[in-house]
Each structure stands twice: as structure tokens, then as C-alpha cells.
Structure 1
Amino acid sequence: MRRRPRENAIKPWRYRSWIFIRDPDFRAKAQRILDLYARTFEGIPLSEDEYVVSNDEKTSIQAHCRCHPALAPGRARAMRVNHEYGRGGAPACLASYDVHHATVFGRYESTTGIVPFAAVVEQAMTAEPHAGAKHVFWIVDDSSSHRSERAVDRLAGAFPNAVMVHTPVHASWTNQTEIFFPIVRRKAVPPHDVTDLAEVRDRLRAFEDRHNVTAQPFRWRCTLSDLDDPPAGLDRHARDRQKESTPLAA
């Protein structure tokens, strides 16, 4: 049955979405971030004691307690999870990701906001190597907890070596923590029984500890040339991924 849909010339169930660029300073803001990912700031290469940290928030990581026990997977059989569940709450995950060292500093709060953001910043900035760094560049979006110039001043006032860098409006893809969160969702919070918020937080912290030992930095592919024609850049990267996933001929 699957072979027929694959052979169709037109596949209406497949689609790619986009959002129009609305930020008038999109290119300048995006270029600044891409330069930091390439270890450059305002045309000057970063030194060894300068770091780039991407920060973001993920809300509603729900604790689902299944009403009936899940059936363990077996040979040629996927795990079976009952549809009915009880809600055990939903913590917010605030993560700061060091893009060049693949290190994560996470906090798990009941909500997001200025105070939780300040807490995760303090957690990262009071630990080495960031505490003694020359500069730590913080890439953040335009959410209310760090949107205004007052947020820039608060960060610089608390940690003089910290520099806040905002992503363009509606350009979450420029924030590398957006890559980390789907991995967390897929690997740390699978559809098993989770009794309460404490168990969710324990799983997230355990995953963070393992990630910081084993992970490698993401291979960031977007370059400045992609900013001038985003659809063409997406097509080019899609072709590159397809080449990498195609087995070599014997």
C-alpha cells in the first residue's frame, strides 16, 4: 500500500513551510550571529577565552502518567503506550548551550520570565570557563524576559564580560538551542509513564549530564550567502544532506 503513494508524481501530503522576513535589520542581526558561530565578532577573530552561548526556553514539557501500563517492545514489535493519561504538571526548560564546546547549562522552572532567565545566566557565568572569560556572547531571542535595552543593561551590570546579542524577529532558526531541544524531547522524555515533575526534572538533568560528556558541537551549515536567498540555501542544504545519507556504491 505504501508503494503507490511513493510513486505518485504529486504528493500533496508533503509540504514545507516558511515565514516571511519582517525584521528590517534581519541581515545585520543574522550576520552578527553567523559571524559568532564562525568565531568572529565585528571582523575580529575570537580569542581562546571568548565564548558563544545560545539561550532559549522550552515550555510545557508535560509529565504524563499513563492510566494503564505500557507494553515493553519486543522482537519486531514497537512499544505500545495507552492513549489515556493523567497530567502531572509541565516544567519549563531554560537551556544555555555553548555552541563551540557543546556544553549545556539547564534549569527547570515552573515558569519562564526575567527571574528564571537571570538564574540560568548566573548558573553559566559563575562556572568556569565562562566566569573568567574575556567575553561571553549570549545569543537570545526577543521574548519578554530579555527583549529590551534594559535586559542588555541588566546582563552587563551583573556580568561585565557578558554581551547580549539578539536574533532577528521570527528567526528562531538562528539560535542553536533550537536544535538541542528536539533532541531532548526525542531522547530524554519519550512516551513512558512519568509520575510527577520531579521525575521529569531528574530525566532532563541526567540527559544534560550525559550530553555534556559525550556530545560534539553541531555542524552549523548556514553561511552569509544563504541570507540573500533563503529558499535557495534551504534547497542546497537539503541536497547536501541527501548526498551524505546516500550509501556509497560498492
Structure 2
Amino acid sequence: MVVAGVMACAVRVTGSVRRLLIRRSRGQKTPYRDKIRARIVLLAAREWPNTRIAAEVGVAVDTVRTWRGRFAAQGLAGLVDLPRSGRPSRFSAVQVAQVKSLACQLPADAGTPLSRWSCPELAREAVAQDVVEAVSVSTVRRWLAADAIKPWQFRSWLFPRDPDFATKAERVLDLYDRRWNGRRLEPGEYVISSDEKTSIQARCRCHPTLPPGKARMMRINHDYERGGALAYLAAYDVHQAHVFGRCAPSTGIVPFMALAEQVMTTEPYASAKRVFWVVDNGSSHRGQAAIDRLAQRFPNAVMVHTPVHASWLNQVEIYFSVLQRKVVSPNDFTDLIEVEHRLGEFEKRYNATATPFDWKFTRNDLHDLLDRISQHEQQQNTTEQNAAA
């Protein structure tokens, strides 16, 4: 008696699909399971029987039969794994939400003597508060990452407390936009942004610094000997992108006036109609006395103060940040003479290629910022009043 065998599914592969399956079967970065499935389909298209394909590929006959049948019925879509329910979750959505809520609270509010939460501390606190019986640190980290919650990070802010903040800030922003008192600056008028970078130390490392190499970053010895510190004073021409700098043992009125002398005796500033000096409220140039002192020495100089606690409006701070990244850090100088020489040489290098900073903060941005701060203060006052009631 002869028993008829079961016929294998006929598989047809067109040119574009064949090329894709060949790339999958040969790709070095293709997942192994996709390689196997592509080889099964390609051999099936050559009318090989399932037993021969299984022996060639090294899988069970049932595996060949499964993927051959799925491709015959659905094409390439049949080679994708079907959705799986997976293992049931150990934690409910309410428990996950409670842990996230805990992460969004200050530790002190929960009676925990910490300044910031970390994932291990959150896992421990969730167990202590009976939110969960047990939870791993990696699970807590995955929950927080889903909503980009990072309680270990923080940013500080400062409310403007200068009563004339808006007026002073607008004057500085107008100067950056080449305007003063509603009029455009003339060709013979310049804007200088000036400040001091204090306490630049000379740290002589106890062992030589090792340069970077293959698969190795630069290495700086932690131990050092102090070689003193100095102050670096800089005046930055906002629209010409030119820096004037000088070093001094410390900051003060005398070093600042020496910087002003260095700039104002140089052309084109010496013969300029007006030179506006944007400065913060540091002790070297604070108040009306500093304005009068500069105007008395240089009649064409006009000192303009930024608001209190608003040094971010002073463009020379951007130059100082560049200086910190490219010259000062990591600090490895034999003495103050080397520090002063390096600062001077970088100043020349910077002036040779510098272009003005792309300052985008305008009057409209300032008004939006002050409106947001005002709304925040109103909400805070309302909250405090409701809490008191």
C-alpha cells in the first residue's frame, strides 16, 4: 500500500525580493534568525524539499515548514516574528506612577536626608514606603528614562532684583543692535564689552602631562604645586570681534583704568565720536563714580552698566568661556609668566580669525522672559496664600 506524501508549499521569489533575501542571507550585521529565514526561502524557491533544506541550513524540518509556509502566504511580512504577550509585568501602572511621583518630589519632603534622588535611593525609598515589595535599580532607571525624569540633575536660577532691570537690559541690547536712545550708531561709534576673569592659577603638575595617544586620552597628574594667581582683564569690541587684554596681580580700579587707557589710546577708539563700555557691577567699575571717572579721563567714553546679577548680558563672558576651554583648562603652567604669555598668544591667535558673536537675544526675548518670571511669581504668591489660608 502506497501512502501519498504531503506536498511542500510552492515558493516563488521575484527579482527585487530575491536580491533583498540574498543580502539578508549574506549580511555580516544581519541578525542570525533573519539569515536563516532568508536562506530557507531562497532554497525553497529552488524547489528543494523541506528535509533537504533542514539538513542544509541546520534546523528542524518543522522550522523550515513554518517559514516556508508563512512566506508563501504573506511574502516578506511573513518572515517577521508575530507579537508576543511576554511575561506578565510584576508591577502595576499605579506602582510605576507612584515611583515616578516620588522622583518628582524633594527628598526632604519625604523625610529623607538627601539633597537629590538617585536610582538606588529611589528603589530603597519605594520599598520603605511600601510602594513595592522589591524593585531593582535598573527597573527604576528604566521607568524614569521613559519620561526623561532625572532627579539627580539640577539647574539654578536667579530672579532679577534690580528695580531698573528692564531699562538697563534694553540699553545693552540696543547697543548690540547698534542703537542708542532710539537712534542708529554712526560709523565712528563703537561698543566695548569689558570685564575681569579673576584668580587664574598657575598649577605646576608634579609629573609631566602625557599627550593623547591611540585609544588613550590626555593624562594630567592630579597633584600640583601652586605658582600663584593673576587676573586677566579684557575689552571686547562687540562689532569688530577684537579683544584687548592685559594681566594684573588682582582686580581693582587701577587695573581697569589701565585697560581703558590701553584701548582708548588706540585707533580708531582714540578719535572715535563715542565708545560705549558695557560693564557689570563689579567693584572695579561700580556706580556713578565709575561712570564719572571714565568720562573725565576719556570724554568720548560712555559707561553702560548691565543690571545687577545679569553678567550674562555682557558678551565678553562668551570670550572668557572660550578662553577657559582652550587655554586655562586643564591647568598646567610652570609659573605666572607662562600663564601671561599663553593668554597673550591666544589673544593674538583669536583676533586673527575671530568673527562677531551671533547674538540673538533681543528686546522681544527680554520682555517674554520678564513676563514668564512675573507669571511664575504670581503663581507662587497664590500658592503661598492658599497654603496660609
1:7-86 paired onto structure 2 within 5 Å: 7-9=145-147, 10-86=149-225
The answer to whether the 8 A contact 2:228-2:336 is kept is yes
In the aligned structure 1, how far is the partner of 2:199 from the partner of 2:219?
Answer: 23
In the aligned structure 1, how far is the partner of 2:248 from the partner of 2:338?
Answer: 14
SS, match of residue 137 in structure 1: strand
Unpaired segments ≥5 residues, structure 2 = 1-137, 373-389
In the aligned structure 1, how far is the partner of 2:204 from the partner of 2:371?
Answer: 44
Unpaired segments ≥5 residues, structure 1 = 234-250
SS, match of residue 184 in structure 1: helix
In the aligned structure 2, how far is the partner of 1:91 from the partner of 1:46?
Answer: 36
Deviations 1:208-231 (A, max 9, x none): 011111111101111111222328
Q: 2:314 aligns with which of 168, 171, 175?
A: 175
SS, match of residue 199 in structure 2: coil
Whether 2:362 is the aligned partner of 1:223: answer yes
Corresponding residue of 1:116: 255
In the aligned structure 2, how far is the partner of 1:214 from the partner of 1:135?
Answer: 26
SS, match of residue 157 in structure 1: helix
SS, match of residue 293 in structure 2: helix
In the aligned structure 1, how far is the partner of 2:282 from the partner of 2:145?
Answer: 44
Corresponding residue of 1:99: 238
1:70-219 paired onto structure 2 within 5 Å: 70-191=209-330, 193-219=332-358
What one-letter code is carried by the residue in structure 2 that aligns with 1:210?
A: R
Corresponding residue of 1:237: none
- Measure how far apart 1:83 and its partner are: 0.6
Deviations 1:80-129 (A, max 9, x none): 11110111111101110000011011010000000000000000100011
Question: What's the TM-score, normalizing by structure 1?
Answer: 0.88
Quick one: structure 1 residues 225 and 153, their matched pair in 2 at CA, closer, same or farther if it must change by over 3 Å?
same
In the aligned structure 1, how far is the partner of 2:321 from the partner of 2:272?
Answer: 29
What one-letter code is carried by the residue in structure 2 that aligns with 1:68?
A: H
SS, match of residue 191 in structure 2: strand
What one-letter code is carried by the residue in structure 1 that aligns with 2:338?
A: E
Deviates more, 1:148-157 or 1:169-178: 148-157
The answer to whether the 8 A contact 2:202-2:331 is kept is no
- Measure how far apart 1:8 and its partner are: 4.9
Which structure has more relative contact order (CA 8 Å, sep 6+)? It is: 1
The answer to whether the 8 A contact 1:226-1:232 is kept is no
What one-letter code is carried by the residue in structure 1 that aligns with 2:324?
A: R
SS, match of residue 63 in structure 1: strand
In the aligned structure 1, how far is the partner of 2:151 from the partner of 2:213?
Answer: 35
In the aligned structure 1, how far is the partner of 2:242 from the partner of 2:146?
Answer: 44
The answer to whether the 8 A contact 1:70-1:192 is kept is no
- Measure how far apart 1:16 and its partner are: 2.7
The answer to whether the 8 A contact 1:51-1:135 is kept is yes
What one-letter code is carried by the residue in structure 1 that aligns with 2:297?
A: A
Corresponding residue of 1:241: none
SS, match of residue 89 in structure 1: strand
What one-letter code is carried by the residue in structure 2 that aligns with 1:215?
A: A
The answer to whether the 8 A contact 2:244-2:263 is kept is yes
What one-letter code is carried by the residue in structure 2 that aligns with 1:135?
A: R
In the aligned structure 1, how far is the partner of 2:371 from the partner of 2:161?
Answer: 19
Question: What's the TM-score, normalizing by structure 2?
Answer: 0.57
Quick one: structure 1 residues 88 and 232, their matched pair in 2 at CA, closer, same or farther if it must change by over 3 Å?
farther
Deviations 1:183-207 (A, max 9, x none): 1011112325311000000000000
In the aligned structure 1, how far is the partner of 2:208 from the partner of 2:370?
Answer: 45
The answer to whether the 8 A contact 2:194-2:234 is kept is yes
What one-letter code is carried by the residue in structure 1 that aligns with 2:158?
A: I
In the aligned structure 2, how far is the partner of 1:216 from the partner of 1:84?
Answer: 38
Deviates more, 1:159-168 or 1:66-75: 66-75
- Aligned Cα root-mean-square deviation (Å): 1.8
Quick one: structure 1 residues 65 and 231, their matched pair in 2 at CA, closer, same or farther if it must change by over 3 Å?
farther
- Measure how far apart 1:162 and its partner are: 0.3
SS, match of residue 120 in structure 1: helix
Q: How many residues end up aligned between the 2 structures?
A: 231
